[in-house]
Amino acid sequence: MRVAFTLIGGSTWTGGVNYLENLLSAIAEEPTCSIKPILFAGKTSDPKTLARLQPYLAEPPVLSSIWDNSKVIRIMRLVCGLGFQRDYFAEQQFKKANIDVIFQHAAWYGCRFNIPTLAWIADFQHRRLPLMFSKRNFYWRDIGYWALSYCATQLMVSSQDAKRDCITFYPKSVGRVEAVPFAIRMGTEITQSELEEIRKTYNLPLKFYFLPNQFWQHKNHLNVVEALNQLTKVGSEVTIVASGNPKDGRNPEHPRQVIDLIKKYNLEDKFIFLGLIPFQHILPLMRLSVAVINPSFFEGWSTTVEEAKSLGAPMLLSDIPIHREQTDGIASLFNPNNSSDIATVLENEWGKLKSGPRRDAEIICAEKNKQRRKEFALSFEKLVLKTYETN
């Protein structure tokens, strides 16, 4: 079964590329999976991204200018997709490569498109947190999701929570949407000396919490800083190391507000912000940490949580439906809207937990992650076959 993929995300959303690598690598690792992934990308695509995905593909990426971020090309395809309800440019490329099913996400191919599409929707944040979107962004996203729910052959989300949202907000999706939780690709083995070298690279203390989230408004850094300030006032030693993209496309002023609040409270030594760090350093820092924090107001299926689970790292998470679903009772939860509650959980767990690595827990959790990745690949294959047979 030849399945077409296009690049997801970019410099502003690294999670898209991470998701694609997790999916493609899970397919490649499962010997019984019949999916043959074919990647379509623009001629100006980042070579490093293509090289990162290449090992998991059935053949070299198909490069064409129609996938480039060119205004003229985007307009031409949009006219075809909206006006004629059929993106002839994309369809021609896919048919030339004998594609059976297309894994669709942001692109719109039209309701008269002649190849079956499996549309993946990451989350429904704009419906749950509408105040964090401009009216233009809200309606643009909502129209796109409505169109996918109406015209895609099948739809795929990453959680039961998202599936409920999809059915609630887009009733046309009833009977055509399935939840396929993703599982992450683990990094290579790393020695204790290599871990310590990474610690030294960032000059980090021996004990810290790790918060690896983008500096986006819904990720809730402000309440964590408020909680940390409360703890510091009473002499607490709690220290947080944070990493992530210091830009928020929807709320450009938000990252600066977080940094300014850290400076206002003189917390630079207690809230250590590393910025956007190499992907291969994320898991080692989770291994070294006391626990991983995700205080987000909303998630689709958290990569941060999935990574922590796979390492056996303790987790301190916002008490939201997706975190309860994803962790099944193995995390400490707090009210994301209440900085005092966050402070209480941070302080209580700081006294109980020790810094990593946790080698025994890692071995057990790595085996569980292998099983989740197998289920990820086979569930995706099952849904692709359903998409092909339904069309």
160 and 309 in a common domain: no
pLDDT confidence of residue 191: 84
Q: How many domains does the chain have?
A: 2
Cα dihedral 381, 116, 75, 251 sign = negative
Residues 299 and 266 in one domain: yes
The DSSP string of 106-156 is S----TT-SS-EEEE----HHHH-GGGS-HHHHHHHHHHHHHHHHH-SEEE
Assign 316 to helix, strand or coil.
Answer: strand
* Residue-level pLDDT at 171: 95
Q: 364 in a domain, yes or no?
A: no
Angle at 208 between CA 193 and CA 247, to 5 degrees: 100
CATH number at residue 215: 3.40.50.2000
Q: Which amino acid is at 242?
A: A
Between CA 246 and CA 253 the distance in angstroms is 10
State the 10-residue block means of pLDDT for the chain, 391 residues long.
87 77 95 96 89 94 83 68 73 93 86 90 93 90 90 95 96 95 85 90 96 92 97 96 88 92 96 91 94 95 92 96 92 96 97 91 92 96 94 66
Is the domain of 58 the same as that of 205?
no
> In this structure, are 268 and 235 located in the same domain?
yes
> What is the reported pLDDT for 81?
65
The verdict on 118 and 72 lying in the same domain is yes
Counting Cα atoms < 13 Å in the Cβ hemisphere of 34 gives 9
* Residue 315 β-bridge partners: 292
The pLDDT score that the predictor gives to residue 69 is 76
What is the domain range of residue 144? 2-184+372-390
- Does this model's pTM top 0.75? My answer is yes
Instruction: Indicate whether 207 and 178 sit together in one domain.
Output: no
pLDDT the model gives residue 316? 98
